[in-house]
Structure 1
Amino acid sequence: MKINALTGISPAVISELKKSKPRTIELQSAHNIITLTDVLPGDHVFMTDIDPDDLSVGDPGIIVEVLSIGINMKRTIEYVHPYYCEERERMSVRLKVKYVDKTFAKCVEGKDWSKPTVVDIVRSCVYSAG
């Protein structure tokens, strides 16, 4: 089963999700935002604490179900009076997810910076009832 993969997720976040309560996380890394551009509520996503450059066959992670997703642009303006004004924009994704199961990657695709990271995972026969 091929699904999109979020990489470099904090082990503390993964541990919290394993408690089977829905949680909202905010992601700001470009590779994860690109991966989430074609994800919709109801889709499953693979999450791992492995860095995107190091993700390979056999790496462990969890499967989560996307409950809601929102992509936001935040603008900040920095002033250094009176000569300088800098405007910055930062894109982020707020993602509400619920834990489904633990798994590992059988195959990894799309590790280029401009493509979504996709993994083929081992499908579980038994899912969490929580």
Structure 2
Amino acid sequence: MKYAALTGISPSVIAELKSGKPRTLELNSAHNIITLTGTAPGDCIFMTSITEEDLSPGDPGIMVDLLALDISMRRVEVVNPVFYEERERMSARIKVRFRGVTIARDVEGRKWGEPTRVEIVTPACYRAG
């Protein structure tokens, strides 16, 4: 089975998730937001500190349960004495809970605009919650 993969996540965030408490994360990377557009609360997601370009079979990561998902656009206004500029920034806020440690078996979706998905080595047991 293929799972959505969030890449480039800070090792300290992954270590904190392993404590088992649900955490809310804000993601700004375009490739991670694109990947999240194909997910819904209740899905299981693969997370790793490896960057999307370097992710390959055998790389370690964790499985998390997606508890909440909110993808939104925010306006950022820049005011200068000469001009007024308005920018938009998309971000995704997710609430996740640690499920288990795993390894990527197969990786797909390396083209721009495609969600990153991985097949994983199925763990023998998950963390009791």
The TM tier, using the shorter chain, reads over 0.9
Distance in 1 (alpha carbons) for counterparts of 2:2 and 2:69? 20
Q: Scaled by the length of structure 1, what TM-score is found?
A: 0.97
* Residues 34-83 of structure 1, C-alpha deviations (whole Å, 9 max, x = no match): 000011000000000001100001000000000000011110111112x3
Distance in 2 (alpha carbons) for counterparts of 1:29 and 1:128? 29
Q: CA deviation at 1:94?
A: 0.4
Distance in 2 (alpha carbons) for counterparts of 1:64 and 1:129? 13
- The aligned counterpart of 1:91 is 90
Distance in 2 (alpha carbons) for counterparts of 1:99 and 1:77? 36
Q: Which runs of 5+ in 1 are unaligned?
A: none
User: Secondary structure in 2 aligned to 1:33?
Assistant: helix
Q: What pairs with 1:39-78 in structure 2 (closer than 5 Å)?
A: 39-78=39-78
Runs of 4+ in 1 over 6 A off after TM superposition: none
Q: Which runs of 5+ in 2 are unaligned?
A: none
Q: Kindly report the root-mean-square deviation, in angstroms, between the aligned alpha carbons of the 2 structures.
A: 0.7
1:36 correspondence with 2:14:
no
Q: CA deviation at 1:125?
A: 2.2
Q: CA deviation at 1:86?
A: 1.1
Q: Which amino acid aligns with 1:30?
A: A
**Residue correspondences, number:** 129
